[in-house]
Structure 1
Amino acid sequence: MNGEHHYRLTSTWTGNRGTGTSGYRDYDRAVTLQVAGKPDLAASADRPFRGDPERWNPEDLLLAALSECHLLSYLHACVTVGVVVTAYEDDATGTMVLDGNGGGAFREVVLRPRVTVADASMIEAAEAAHAQANAWCFIANSVNFPVRHEATIVAALQ
């Protein structure tokens, strides 16, 4: 599976209230994200940036991408070492810091996966699989801030 992989997305601004960007408060931050063959995603800016809090924002999407990429990489890592995962849920958080000049950057993301494995004998290998998953995660390898993991692993059978 070596080589390049290409992705295509269309972002369409749908927030023209009739006067375009005639003023900072005169337009909506509504965006529709489209990928061929998938449902449209309603997006916007985050609420502090005059966005619609009911829509996905870029910060939500970045956090979601990191969480899902780790989850999928982790499941693969577990398969390779014989760990049977029966449940996985992540409560991910991200910290973004504004620079005072209109920009900012994420400082870190912390993933807090709660993993259930089939048997207690798998817990140690399940814990170690998080490091492998982080090394394999395309998205974590593409950001310039730390992505930490605070996993909890329990066994369905003790």
Structure 2
Amino acid sequence: MTGKTHRYELDITWTGNTGTGTSGYRAYERAHEISAAGKPTIAGSADPSFRGDPQRWNPEELLVASLSQCHMLWFLGLCAQEGIVVTEYTDHPAGTMAETADGGGHFTEVLLRPQVRVDDPEHVAALAAIHERAHHLCFIANSVKFDVRCAPGNA
């Protein structure tokens, strides 16, 4: 049996033409906008290491955020199904990307570090297994070829 498919459409618009287009590596900004109908626009750029604007989100940060969000949403849903009341959830994820000799690169890992608070201390023991299940189900973690690790803590 096959599952449902979902499609995600959005717009990426480069806004960094300073008047001469890409006439030289330093002649243009990496500024762009990520948008979709009915949603706020996200101001994007390259990582500052690649001449990007540090005040804007870069693709690498958004990838790390996507992995963290997906894990969190699965975890919260699974807790709700199990009757475990989560009262607080924060994460401080970190991703590592390695550049390659040809100028490209790839992520080598992302580490999720969720901190969870529940209303009943008796439920704390069940949280590790729920994190493991959330990781197994996460759409985004299942779509990348690098390690996504989870080191949960309980607040």
TM-score, scaled to structure 2:
0.96
What does 1:27-38 correspond to in 2, within 5 Å? Answer: 27-38=28-39
Residues 23-60 of structure 1 deviation map (CA, whole Å, 9 limit, x = unaligned): 11100000011111000110000000000000000001
Q: Give yes or no for the alignment of 1:54 onto 2:48.
A: no
Residues 67-113 of structure 1 deviation map (CA, whole Å, 9 limit, x = unaligned): 10000000011122221111000000000000121100000000000
What does 1:16-95 correspond to in 2, within 5 Å? Answer: 16-95=17-96
Count residues with an aligned counterpart: 154
Gaps of 5+ in 2: none
The CA distance in 2 between the partners of 1:36 and 1:64, in whole Å, is 21
Moved over 6 A (4+): none
Residues 6-29 of structure 1 deviation map (CA, whole Å, 9 limit, x = unaligned): 000100000001110001110000
CA contact (8 A) 1:89 1:115 kept: yes
SS at 1:6's partner residue?
A: coil
Deviates more, 1:78-87 or 1:110-119: 78-87
Identity of aligned residues (%): 54
